[in-house]
Amino acid sequence: MKKSHIILLLLIVGAIVAIVASFGDLSSYQTFASASKQQGKKLYVIGYLQKDKEMNYDPKVDPNHFMFYAKDKAGDMHKVIFNGEKPRDIEKSEQIVMMGYEESGTFHCSRIQMKCPSKYKKDMVAEGKSS
């Protein structure tokens, strides 16, 4: 092998490693406990809406503020603030995937993907304002 081929091969491998490393942070799902250890870092948390707990959305006061409680797969319950309007039919979702960050015991999310119970109904995504 020529010296130029070896250098080119090393550059290609380095580029692949850099691309994989940059996607690695957002591709894994976290729990609320691990999110609280990484304050301010954007993460994905899978959880379940706590329908028996308080949900607060008043579009007259602030149409981009929806507060609710969710429980993650580890069983930890957390207060969640979504920077957008209340997603339609969130109460019917089986599971919710929240993208956001932890700050002072509250999970602030800017994106919610709702996993629907029916295989015939597509998952719904709600986008909020970036904070």
List of domains in the chain: 29-127 (2.40.50.140)
Question: Between 114 and 130, where is the model more confident?
Answer: 114
Task: Note the Cα 41 to chain centre separation in Å.
Answer: 11
Tell me the average pLDDT across 43-67: 92
pLDDT value, residue 57 = 92
Q: Which percentage of the chain shows pLDDT scores above 90?
A: 37
pLDDT band at 33 (very low <50, low <70, confident <90, very high): confident
The C-alpha atoms of residue 49 and residue 131 are separated, in whole angstroms, by 22
| 41: nearest Cα among 60, 28, 58 | 28
> Which runs of consecutive H residues, i.e. helices, occur in the chain?
3-27, 32-37
pLDDT band at 35 (very low <50, low <70, confident <90, very high): confident
pLDDT at 22 over 70: no
pLDDT value, residue 65 = 93
**Which two tokens mark 60?**
């007259």
pLDDT at 117 over 70: no
Report in angstroms the alpha-carbon separations of 6 from 3, 17, 23, 90.
5, 17, 26, 54
